[in-house]
């Protein structure tokens, strides 16, 4: 006998509920089973998602760290969707995309970031979105670049172009996990190179995308590479899913 609650669901939700019987879906954060109307994250975890709200602030802690690392003629914008902590279960959002190929969850949270940016006047004029690149050997081994997946959704939300070839990682670097901020900058020196392309030359506001902002060393190195082809009067903003508050 079919549960009467299932009869009240629309067709899409009904088929999702039936599929869950064979392959249960779980919340990317807490691991609990999802209800038919939930996607990737349960409503309880979604309600507690530690949003930064930086997209509405021209000056914020992430932007301060970013601007401290770059040599810019004027203050650049920076935002992240949520606060990232190594002890918080919300870290699983970016880890699911980066290490476990959970493209569905990655795209959903990237769309959330893109919608925040679209609603903010600070990013309304972004016309080019550029993902932080992986070295080709790492890209080959992993099979994809998580920053590119995020960038594609953000660009779609903003109605901007996404160019994954604007930046290249020309030198493979050691893992950044155990390096200090100063060592990270040294490790990344000269690691990126920007392409001389019409897309970069014609862009008025470039948005750099990565999955997590820790110290800002990677994004600052990308900024330096892009500045070789983008004049100082044009803005290069950054956006990530996660922001490590004490990075």
pLDDT in tens, 40-61: 999 999 999 999 999 999 999 9
Is the predicted pLDDT of residue 219 greater than 60, yes or no?
A: yes
Q: What mean pLDDT do residues 149-177 have?
A: 89
Q: What is the DSSP secondary-structure string of 177-205?
A: TT--HHHHHHHHTT-EEE---HHHHH-SE
Q: What mean pLDDT do residues 201-226 have?
A: 96
What is the pLDDT, as a whole number, of residue 11? 52
- Alpha-carbon distances, residue 217 vs 28, 179, 185, 191, 247 (angstroms): 28, 11, 5, 11, 11
pLDDT in tens, 175-209: 655 555 566 667 787 889 998 888 888 899 999 99
What is the pLDDT, as a whole number, of residue 172? 77
Task: Please tell me the least confidently modeled range out of 15-29, 59-73, 119-133.
Answer: 15-29
> What is the chain's mean pLDDT, rounded?
89
Q: How confident is the model at residue 103 (pLDDT cuts 50, 70, 90)?
A: very high
Is the predicted pLDDT of residue 9 greater than 80, yes or no?
A: no
What is the pLDDT, as a whole number, of residue 19? 45
- Locate all alpha helices (DSSP H) within 8-132, ordered by sequence: 11-22, 43-47, 61-69, 92-100, 103-119
Task: Identify which of 4-18, 73-87, 159-173 has the greatest average pLDDT.
Answer: 73-87
Is the predicted pLDDT of residue 3 greater than 80, yes or no?
A: no
Of the candidates 33, 150, 50, the one whose C-alpha atom is nearest the C-alpha of residue 90 is: 50
Q: What mean pLDDT do residues 56-72 have?
A: 97
3-state secondary structure of 131: strand
pTM over 0.85: yes
What is the pLDDT, as a whole number, of residue 247? 47
Q: Which tops the pLDDT comparison, 17 or 100?
A: 100
What is the pLDDT, as a whole number, of residue 180? 57
Percent of the chain with pLDDT over 70: 85
Q: Is the dihedral of CA 93, 95, 98, 99 positive or negative?
A: negative
Task: Please tell me the least confidently modeled range out of 41-55, 160-174, 200-214, 216-230.
Answer: 160-174
């Amino acid at each position: 006998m079919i549960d009467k609650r299932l009869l009240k669901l629309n067709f899409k939700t009904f088929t999702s509920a039936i599929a869950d019987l064979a392959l249960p879906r779980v919340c990317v954060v807490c691991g609990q089973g999802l209800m038919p109307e939930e996607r990737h994250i349960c409503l309880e975890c979604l309600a507690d998602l530690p949003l930064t709200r930086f997209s509405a602030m021209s000056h914020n802690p992430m932007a301060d760290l970013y601007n401290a690392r770059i040599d810019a003629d004027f203050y650049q914008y920076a935002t992240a969707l949520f606060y990232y902590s190594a002890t918080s279960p919300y870290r699983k959002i970016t880890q699911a995309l980066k290490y476990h190929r959970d493209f569905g969850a990655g795209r959903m949270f990237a769309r959330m970031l893109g919608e925040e940016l679209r609603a903010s006047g600070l990013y309304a004029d972004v016309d080019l979105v550029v993902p932080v690149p992986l070295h080709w050997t790492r890209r080959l081994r992993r099979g994809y670049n998580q920053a590119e997946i995020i960038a594609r959704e953000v660009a779609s939300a903003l109605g901007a172009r996404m160019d994954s070839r604007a930046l290249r990682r020309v030198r493979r670097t050691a893992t950044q996990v155990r390096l200090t901020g100063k060592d990270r900058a040294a490790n990344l020196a000269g690691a990126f190179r920007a392409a001389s392309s019409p897309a970069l030359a014609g862009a008025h506001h470039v948005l750099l995308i990565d999955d997590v902002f820790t110290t800002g060393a990677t994004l600052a190195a990308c900024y330096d590479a892009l500045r070789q082809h983008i004049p100082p009067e044009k803005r290069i903003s950054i956006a990530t899913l996660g922001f490590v508050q004490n990075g």
